[in-house]
Amino acid sequence: MNNANFKILDRSSNLKDTNYVIISAGKGKEDNSKIYIEYYAFSFLEGLIWDKYREYNNRKKIKITSLDIKRILDGIIIAANGLGKVDEKEIKDILKFDLYSPKYPLSDLIENLDYFKDFIIKFTNCILDFAEKEKYIIINRENIESF
């Protein structure tokens, strides 16, 4: 797997053949209030989200208060700081794969751990900005095909 999958997608790029998640601030009516993330990268964060927000599930749209988002982001940042030179079992523990396992091979993540950590920094900064401006965030998983 290449590092291209660990990034926030450009809205103008062709998303037609991509599984992606849209995260929007509030109602997300303005272009700068949404980000598009390839599901591949997002899937490695879902255990951390569920760990801090037990209402998280496989629904297509999930509305989370900004207060809860900040708590989730704190957990993600702590996890990212723990992703140094760790083995496979430690990565599974840090990313809470026992709670919510990604559908992609862990070997891909291990090979691209530095890119994943960079993605986490960009992701958390962007979502924190949303949480500062709005009362809630919506995670929209409607553009994910079943596996």
CB 70 within 8 A of CB 132: no
Q: Residue 32 gets which letter from DSSP?
A: G
pLDDT recorded at residue 2: 58
pLDDT recorded at residue 131: 93
3-state secondary structure at position 96: coil
pLDDT recorded at residue 3: 59
pLDDT recorded at residue 13: 67
Which CATH number fits the domain that encloses residue 98? 3.40.1760
pLDDT recorded at residue 12: 61
Range of the domain at 125: 3-143
Domain count, the chain: 1
pTM: 0.88
pLDDT recorded at residue 6: 86
pLDDT averaged per 10 residues in sequence order, the chain, 147 residues: 71 74 83 85 93 87 95 96 88 89 86 92 94 93 73
